[in-house]
Amino acid sequence: MDNILNIVWFRQDLRIEDNPALFKAAENAIILPIYILDDENANDWCMGEASRWWLQKSLQSLNKSLNGNLHLFNGKADEIIPDLIEKTDATGIYWNRCYEPWRISRDKKIKAELLTNNIKVRSFNGSLLFEPPNIKKADDTPYKVFTPFYKKGCVENGPPPRELVTNLPKLIFKKNISSKNLSDLSLLSDIPWYRHMEEIWSPGEKGANERLNQFLEHGIQNYKIGRNRPDKEFVSRLGAHFHFGELSPHQAWFRVKNLTQSSDTKDSIEHFLSELGWREFSNNLLYYWQELPENNLQKKFDRFPWINDSTNLKKWQHGLTGYPIVDAGMRQLWKTGYMHNRVRMVTGSFLVKNLMLDWRHGERWFWDTLLDADLANNSASWQWIAGCGADAAPFFRIFNPIVQGEKFDPNGDYVREYIPELSQIPTKFIHKPWEAPEDILLKAGIILDKDYPLPIVDLKLSRERALSAFKSLSENN
């Protein structure tokens, strides 16, 4: 063992349990655990502010689990790793695969160079249940529609999810290696805007497992129907934990599959597993269509007449559209780094269809403000809501924010939590305060267009405008 040193390169797998690369690297070898903040190779897709706060906390947690033996670096990984191997005489490097195009390109470059120098390079599946190269249709082409992808490609015909990796070998660490301090990575801004997030989130492997346990005890039983209610706690809120790899999808998959299923919970369990499938589908799309974050998958949308309106964009970003369910969602995002999935669809539809602003504006805003900002999920979801992606919602499916609010936040609790100035508005008017009589508004202490904005667009007229624009795509063929 004295002559074998393996580097373990942590990336989107910031955990100890069920970590194939860590387990294999530690078998009969000394290990050097590293993390590299590689903003240079990431370029336009380096992490946003919210994600960087989470990463700071997650690295602290991982370092504690490794007894202070995590070594940090920042810069280009393809330069840092060969240099580190030369300085330490490491004989191998182990990592779990990532699927963003820029990471794939970089990792191939690193692997090719190291192999020419007789360095062992081993990569593993630590992040997906069904890796893209293994999931194709009978004609060897990738899936573009979710249901056959998940049911036929994955569950019925794909290789089953790998078993959990257990029985971690004893970890023996390489000492006396020069590296960065966490503060050197400059992950946090000088303004502590993240204080509220520190009160409600617990980044790290321990927090991920606690969150999963809480969901399995109190949320999954009502998941299928309850997941649409932003005013209730029936969703998992595991997105950031999955993205940073503090919890593997395999851990969640098998925990849920092993639950005792009653007639009341069976549908909710299956629905949650299929939601894990959507995460797989998004990664599959990004793997085969690397332009997903920037270009319309349906090319006819290249001719769509988007409106350039920076004023309305800012109002949408800061929850000042005059539509309470939209504004509550945007303010929840700004305050907590999270937005309920149902509300993500509503706010996204409002941006691209009622305001007719390019979906890429929403994608970039979410990238910077979401704790669970994930390149595959974020870009696939925005293309889905815009109608230009794979298996996308039809463009004519335009969410009415009033109807959505009344249906999924029937008592107005969600709106009242994030728009406190409307807290005294009666439930009848909570999703359409402009319809409230003047005396009710005065009693609630609200002067519209002063304390809370009037709607910035008319729903009916903006819907007709969007449908007309969409129709023009066909007429121009």
Q: Has residue 194 been placed in a domain?
A: no
Q: Has residue 191 been placed in a domain?
A: no
Task: Answer yes or no: are the C-beta atoms of 81 and 32 closer than 8 Å.
Answer: no
Contacts with 222 (C-beta within 8 Å, 6 or more apart), sequence order: 232, 234, 268
Distance CA 212, CA 228 (A): 19
Do 251 and 215 share a structural domain? yes
Q: State which of 72, 100, 127 marks the end of a domain.
A: 127
Do 253 and 134 share a structural domain? yes
Do 324 and 266 share a structural domain? no
Q: Which regions of 165-240 does DSSP assign to beta strands (E)? A: none
Do 98 and 210 share a structural domain? no
181 vs 59, 212, 477, CA distance in Å? 11, 31, 57
Do 327 and 235 share a structural domain? no
- The pair of three-digit structure tokens given for residue 140, joined into one six-digit string: 């060897």
- Which of 203, 279, 229 lies closest to 50 in space, CA to CA? 203
Task: Answer yes or no: are the C-beta atoms of 379 and 386 closer than 8 Å.
Answer: no
pLDDT value at residue 438? 95
Task: Answer yes or no: are the C-beta atoms of 346 and 330 closer than 8 Å.
Answer: no
Task: Answer yes or no: are the C-beta atoms of 149 and 155 closer than 8 Å.
Answer: no
Residue with tokens 């007709």: 464
- The pair of three-digit structure tokens given for residue 307, joined into one six-digit string: 């409106």
Coil vs helix vs strand at 72: strand
- Which of 329, 246, 211, 251 lies closest to 54 in space, CA to CA? 246
Burial of 28 per CB tally in 10 Å (0-12, 13-18, 19+):
exposed
Q: Has residue 199 been placed in a domain?
A: no
Positions marked catalytic: 275, 278, 306, 341, 359, 382
Q: Has residue 437 been placed in a domain?
A: yes
Do 394 and 245 share a structural domain? no
- Report the number of distinct structural domains present in the chain: 3
Average pLDDT, whole number, for the chain? 95
Do 85 and 75 share a structural domain? yes
pLDDT value at residue 375? 97
In terms of DSSP bridges, do strands 92-96 and 5-10 run parallel, antiparallel, or are they unpaired?
parallel
- The pair of three-digit structure tokens given for residue 402, joined into one six-digit string: 């009033």
- Which structural domain range is residue 156 located in? 128-163+206-288
pLDDT value at residue 191? 79
Query: In the chain, which residues have pLDDT < 70?
Result: 1-2, 263, 475-477
Contacts with 234 (C-beta within 8 Å, 6 or more apart), sequence order: 219, 222, 223, 226, 227
- Tell whether the torsion through CA atoms of 79, 81, 82 and 87 is positive or negative: positive
Q: Has residue 176 been placed in a domain?
A: no
> In this structure, what CATH number is given to the domain that contains residue 416?
1.10.579.10
Do 145 and 58 share a structural domain? no
Distance CA 168, CA 437 (A): 66
Task: Answer yes or no: are the C-beta atoms of 388 and 68 closer than 8 Å.
Answer: no
Distance CA 156, CA 322 (A): 47
Do 106 and 146 share a structural domain? no
- Which of 382, 131, 97 lies closest to 245 in space, CA to CA? 97
Q: State which of 241, 266, 288 marks the end of a domain.
A: 288
Do 54 and 100 share a structural domain? yes
Annotate 126-151 with DSSP letters as a single string.
-S-SS-GGG---TTS----SHHHIII
Q: Has residue 174 been placed in a domain?
A: no
Distance CA 109, CA 112 (A): 5
The angle, 0 to 180 degrees and rounded to 10, between the axes of the packed helices 266-288 and 375-386 is 100
pLDDT value at residue 394? 77
pTM here is 0.95
> In this structure, what CATH number is given to the domain that contains residue 112?
3.40.50.620
Task: Answer yes or no: are the C-beta atoms of 289 and 240 closer than 8 Å.
Answer: no
pLDDT value at residue 265? 85
> In this structure, what CATH number is given to the domain that contains residue 242?
1.25.40.80
pLDDT value at residue 260? 73
- The pair of three-digit structure tokens given for residue 242, joined into one six-digit string: 């999955």
Q: Has residue 262 been placed in a domain?
A: yes
Contacts with 314 (C-beta within 8 Å, 6 or more apart), sequence order: 320
Do 305 and 265 share a structural domain? no
Q: State which of 288, 308, 337 marks the end of a domain.
A: 288
pLDDT value at residue 194? 84
Give the DSSP H/E element, type plus range, for residue 184.
Answer: none
Helix and strand tally (H, E) in the chain? 21, 5
pLDDT value at residue 476? 58
Q: Has residue 68 been placed in a domain?
A: yes
Do 251 and 398 share a structural domain? no
Task: Answer yes or no: are the C-beta atoms of 212 and 236 closer than 8 Å.
Answer: yes
Distance CA 458, CA 455 (A): 7
